[in-house]
A and B are shown apart, each in its own frame.
Chain A
């Protein structure tokens, strides 16, 4: 059971790291505002 949890956490950390690296170097600055998104979802 611990192995499964460790694997999931490791994968999560990997995804976060990749995103953070991508976000700091290549991403364009303006994300879509939250309010609009919530509105659309509703």
Chain B
């Protein structure tokens, strides 16, 4: 790939009808030069493409998709444009916008002072466009909300399908009525003579076949043009066979008063009506499965009050930029991520962290967009806007997970890719067998079997089985605060046998407090603490922060160290006021040959109580002990109990010494603790467990957990932790609560069970349906109803996951 950084783009696609379509687009994209990996999700109607931007471009993907007979959906944004004086201005803005990557077409209307931009939201944002216009020296204001646009597109499509369904239903009712008269058990029902007339039937069936059914012909044509076959081919073949055979019979009857025996107009019309009904249900259900995303998007504030040119003005969220000063009144939502520059308040962050107790924040603290300002007036400086906010990142993770493929889906994809040609062959063989052997010379019967086989075998249910479950499952998990990064992780999590928990920040709050100070000899406590506090001042380790905070709380002022060196896993080495200080573990003291014999008893006592004791040496001599203790999360014990009940082995891993580790492990009910592990050793411990044949999930929050998170079968990052950990992990647990581990495992189990049910039904339906139809036990219209029902049942089964309770 030429060593260039790979890019990833997500393109919304329209026109796919079944798994054969999605696999065709996937194949087409993967064949393009410069594409490393492309995957197409049928349920989400999206393609995710990893590519080398030096070799290929998004335009090439769009062209390929269009060549294959589908279209890339773009969104539209409208702007009010101010500051234009002549046509040169409008064309300048137009050119400028058209140059932005992701913009397909920008049109500026000088007279109306408006601009309309067609764009791919995955590549460019409304903010980027406004920025571009502002850079050109004009002012732009967004007129519409992109979510409403996207929503509108889907709604419109559903409305159109509803209209089409009604149209074909009204014309199919008389045809259905005429069919009722054919059966012995319903022959008592009166059928008007006119509906038995072949020309009336033709007049009713033709608009359904060619006007409503046009979409199947178009789809089939595009598929065949690209040398592949999809569900449209089967539907078009089946209904056309019925329609044209009937037309042939009608023509033969010319001069015979219009009454013909072998007519199948009703079969083709009812089939199309039912298939459209099925698609309608499917579209509605698909819409519901993205509810989780809608809920998350709903958390966002719609407007923000910002300071612009000395004035406080209310603007749309899209128009907020980094560095903007924002005012947030009590009761309002924080619009974007930022830093408080004035004021203090309690913020309700429960929507993101699940922590129900409001968090007190003051100047200098960071705030997260979409959290609720409870009681104070805040002045905030925006630091992250648009796609970069924490909430947008969460939405992105959920969307990507919903759009990704679980390995289990690949089987279904492979099968549905080769399904159509096989089915057409079976259908032809079936009709030949009927025509030659079973009912010799009876073309009508042979045709009926052909249609039934073609229709019953559509692999729609097979294509929908996995992606709809993944969508619903990952969406529901997100509501529980569990963010799966991809379908494969959702699938793998249920196989976990062992959970390794990092101690600090995971089992405990990770915010230790200073508890004990023990000094050697007659040293004044404040002088001792001043030295230790000054030495630790520059350390970013949570233990150091606790020590510094504890010392500062005692009213002791600290110096700046002249020298400072952090030794990971050991402690620190610093020079304060000309004195050389060492603060850290026994190993640190051993490393510098400090005699700590007199500290041994005290250390053991502190550690037995679960405290972390650090030894202090001044100028090469042992000087005392300083101890901190981390508090255990209230929920940890219950969460670990839940994991044990699921039959999962729970292990705690920590850099602390054995005694401290054991004390904490016992308190929360963990049977096994691996202590004194250096940061880089965590990954090794995980590998050791994996070598024993265990499927390991690592749960951590810090930068030092990242390698272990990446190496474990499943890495789970505590959402309150660092970005690095979340980046390395496969699952982010938004609520810093260990109960989410069991939730993730249960959600995975339930989703996998749901996928298996769906695949079973879809396979069973196709494998049973084909012989039943071939043997002549299934009328073509019943085959159509069954096919529509199969897709709907699969989607409805997946939607059950949305209401699943895991506690």
Contact = CB atoms under 8 A, between A and B. Distances in A.
Given A5-B167, A8-B170, A34 B204 contact: no
A19 B194 contact: yes
A8 B204 CA distance: 10
Nearest to A9: B170
Interface in A4-26: 4-5, 7-9, 11-12, 15-16, 18-20, 23
Chain A interface secondary structure, helix, strand, loop or mixed?
helix
A8 B167 contact: yes
B189 to A, nearest CB: 11
Contacts of B174: 12
A23 B194 contact: yes
Contacts of A36: 261
A21 to B, nearest CB: 11
Contacts of A37: 181-182, 196, 259, 261
Chain B: interface size category: 20 to 34
A17 B661 CA distance: 90
Interface string B165-200: 011111100100000011110010001011011011
B257 A31 contact: yes
B203 A30 contact: no
Contacts of A5: 163, 166-167, 170
A28 B257 contact: yes
B637 interface: no
A30 to B, nearest CB: 7
A12 to B, nearest CB: 6
A32 B259 contact: yes
B679 interface: no
A19 B193 CA distance: 10
A16 B194 CA distance: 8
Contacts of A40: 261-262
Contacts of A32: 257, 259
A38 B163 contact: no
Given A1-B166, A5-B166, A8-B166, A38 B184 contact: yes
A38 B182 contact: yes
Contact of A19 (B169, B181, B200, B259): B200
A36 B168 CA distance: 29
Given A34-B187, A41-B262, 14 more contacts: A1-B163, A3-B163, A8-B168, A8-B171, A12-B171, A12-B204, A23-B194, A27-B258, A30-B257, A32-B257, A32-B259, A37-B196, A38-B181, A38-B182
Interface of B: 159, 162-164, 166-171, 174, 181-184, 187, 191, 193-194, 196-197, 199-200, 203-204, 207, 257-259, 261-262
5 contacts: A8-B169, A8-B171, A23-B194, A31-B259, A40-B262
